[in-house]
Structures are given as C-alpha cells and as structure tokens.
Amino acid sequence: MTEHPAASATLSLEEERDFDRFVAARGGRLWRAAWLLTGDRHKAEDLVQTALAKSFSRYVALGDDESFEAYVRTVIYRTYVSWWRRRWNGEVPTETPVEPGGGLRQADGAERVDLVRALAELPKMQRAVLVLRFFEDRSVAETAALLGIAEGTVKTHTSRGCATLRGSTHLTEKAHHD
C-alpha cells in the first residue's frame, strides 16, 4: 500500500485501499492531461502527485470516484496555473518523451509526438486552454472557471492557439487536412 502524504486526513484501511484503487484505475488519464499541459513526463508526474496529495483528504467526502476525479482534475489545472505564474520551471527537458501505453484519442504514435511538440511551443495559457477545451472536452465557461480567467479570454486563447497549431511545422500534412 502507498504511504499517503496527507497526515491530517484519517481514512480507514478500506478507504485507503479504495483510494489506491482509484489512483491505479484513473492515474493514467490524470497523467496524460498533466503531460499535455506540461509537455514533460517528470513535471506531469509531479503535478499529478501534488494534486493527489492536495486532494487526498477530500476522497471520502466527495463520495464517488467520478466526483473525486473531477475534483483532482480541477486541482491539477489550478496547480499548473500557480506553478507557471510563479515561474516554476524545474528541469529543462532535452527531448519530448513518448507517452507510455494508451494515447490521445485516434492519434498514432507519430501524430501524438507531433501534437505534443506543437503544444509545447504554445504559451502556457494557450496550451492550458486547448488541453481543457479539446482533450478534456470542457466548455468555455468550465475552462474559464478552472483557470480563473474570463470567458472572452478563453475564446481568445482558443483562437490564437488553434491558429498557431495550424501553422506548426511539427504537425504533419495529414493532421492539417483531417
């Protein structure tokens, strides 16, 4: 069993096992979202671990895995925003990692790597908006609420980010025409 960082939260042994099962079942999806945001495997792991540590005490109170996953995702996005607002950069990656197992919806390995490289070149806010809007399938209002910005700002970042991606040299001709 994992040792949980939230010392103030006291869960029964069964609740801790349920939490461990939650992390095993949904951790990959959480990591993929974090990876798309950060563009770095290690930062994504740090982001998910930080979000899970911050969220641990709310696991039982939220009542079900769907609600808890939504809560953790909110913590992931808010933590990501706070990290880049503080100019936290950590290590500088030397290459773009290939996502282990699974993947982005309907994209083959080469297209995933191209997309991640293209996303990595976007400003952080545009990247966050595009990940929320298109990978997480969030509405403009949900995206604005999660990032703490106005809906008009979400629309602006969506438009500019998509325009930048359309012109990206990392995306293949096939990706431009699909």
Q: Which tokens go with 127?
A: 């990247």
**What does the mean pLDDT of the chain come to?**
80
Q: Per-residue pLDDT for 10 more than 80?
A: no
Q: Quick one: pLDDT at residue 15?
A: 86
Domain 103-178 has CATH 1.10.10.10: yes
Q: Per-residue pLDDT for 166 more than 60?
A: yes
What is the secondary structure of 149-170 as a DSSP string?
--HHHHHHHHHHHHHHHHT-TT
The single-letter code of the amino acid at 35 is: W
Domain ranges of the chain: 9-94, 103-178
pLDDT 10s digits, 127-145: 999 999 998 899 999 999 9
What is the secondary structure of 100-137 as a DSSP string?
PSS-STT--HHHHHHHHHHHHTS-HHHHHHHIIIIIS-
Q: Full-prediction pTM beyond 0.75?
A: no
pLDDT 10s digits, 21-52: 999 999 999 999 999 998 889 999 999 999 99
Q: What is the CATH number of domain 9-94?
A: 1.10.1740
Sign of the torsion angle spanned by Cα atoms 75, 149, 90, 95: positive
pLDDT band, residue 100 (cuts 50/70/90): very low
Q: Per-residue pLDDT for 60 more than 60?
A: yes
